[in-house]
Amino acid sequence: MAVATLSTGMVGPSMGLAFWDSLPIIVVTNLISCLLPGFFATFGLTGLRMTTFSRFSFGYWGNFLVVVFSMVSTTGCVTAGTGAAHFDGFAVETPTGEAGAARALSFIAVIFSFAVSWTNCAADYNVRMPINTVKWKLFLATYVGICLPAILVQTLGAAIYSGAQGNPSWEEAYKTYGVGGPLALALKPAGGFGKFLMALAGLSSIPNNIPNNYSFALHAMNAGPWAARVPRIAFVTVGFGVAIIVGCLASLSFESSLQTFLSIIGYWTIIHIVFVLEEHIIFRKCRWDFYDLDTWSEPALLPFGWGAMGAFCFGFVGAALGMNVSWYTSPIGGLIGNGANIGLELTLGFSALAFPVLRGLEVSP
């Protein structure tokens, strides 16, 4: 159980969704979105990590976008657990009409982004597995390992936030101590064992960020031949330092900055997924023998990346038209209730339409 996952479940009630409205969103969205990291985990059997494999769709030079945004994603994950202390208000109600739809869409975007963020590194942990590993078993293990804990802990987060509604002691504990306040009160009847569980919850941020630090170094080493010569521990140390700084700043009061930051991570991940999938399905015909994996480090034998870079820009145009954060309501997102975050859906549509066209122009004689 990680505090970041607990905090993610609290987002729905903090937006005004009742617990019984938040619960189906948590369950259904996770069941669907976790299919993506489960599928991409099987790509590790190629022997290439996700950031490296992306060169076949983004191109050698276009892949620098993958490197930069993947590094940002791994350093930003630590901030997810710091934002919960700054959720304002306890007005939890059953959503109705356009206002309810806007809240539901925004919460779906949060849960979806949390789950699919694993896609950027899901393949990294399987590159040394035997090539004859059964793919469906690898997919199932990854899917269950991400989906089940996310549903359980996010549901607990939604329950804790909803439980604070109308309970003065829980509400005061939450305002004073953030996530840990009502969690401690909930575990208080367990006595010493409850304190032990609180200690484990507090320490959960350490193992939860080990994969982030590990993947940060792997992403950075794809920046070029020079980066591959840098000791991995140096990148791990830098990534850890940046994550601590960002996390401390976010824990102060920068809720709007945090919301924007995590939204961008979600938009980026959608673009990454779309490009790799469309390259694999449309241009490689789902055939692994259509990839010359030995050329992964040869710029002259890989695409330049013009198609991916152009489609990347189109994807973020979609995000700008659909996003809804504290300081900006997009033209289209603002049409739904008081503003809904539909940036993910528009990013998906824009990038999915643009990439086949621009990539096709790039590969045409």
Cα–Cα distance, 272 to 277 (Å, whole number) = 9
* Mean pLDDT across 57-79: 82
Flag whether pLDDT at 254 surpasses 70: no
Domain ranges of the chain: 3-363
Residues 6+ apart with CB under 8 A from 350: 314, 315, 317, 318
Question: Residue 8 is inside which H or E element, if any?
Answer: helix 3-14
Summarize pLDDT for 296-353 with one digit per residue, the tens.
Answer: 989 999 999 999 999 999 999 999 999 887 777 888 888 887 777 888 899 999 999 9
Q: Which two tokens stand for residue 135?
A: 């793919």
Q: What is the pTM of this model?
A: 0.84
Alpha helices by DSSP H, listed for 178-305, are 180-187, 192-203, 205-220, 225-228, 232-252, 255-278
Pull the structure tokens for residue 57: 């769709």
Beta-carbon contacts of 315 under 8 Å, excluding residues fewer than 6 positions away, are 267, 270, 271, 274, 347, 350, 351, 354
Q: Is the pLDDT of residue 212 over 90?
A: no
Pair 118, 37: CB distance under 8 Å: yes
Q: Which two tokens stand for residue 38?
A: 């489960």
Q: What is the pLDDT of residue 35?
A: 95
Report the pLDDT value the prediction gives residue 250, as an integer from 0 to 100: 63
Cβ contacts of residue 70 below 8 Å, gap of 6+? 50, 51, 120, 121, 215, 219, 272
Report whether 62 contacts 306 (CB < 8 A).
yes
Q: What is the pLDDT of residue 81?
A: 44
For the chain, percent of residues with pLDDT exceeding 70: 88
The letter for the amino acid at 316 is F
Question: Bigger pLDDT: 143 or 92?
Answer: 143
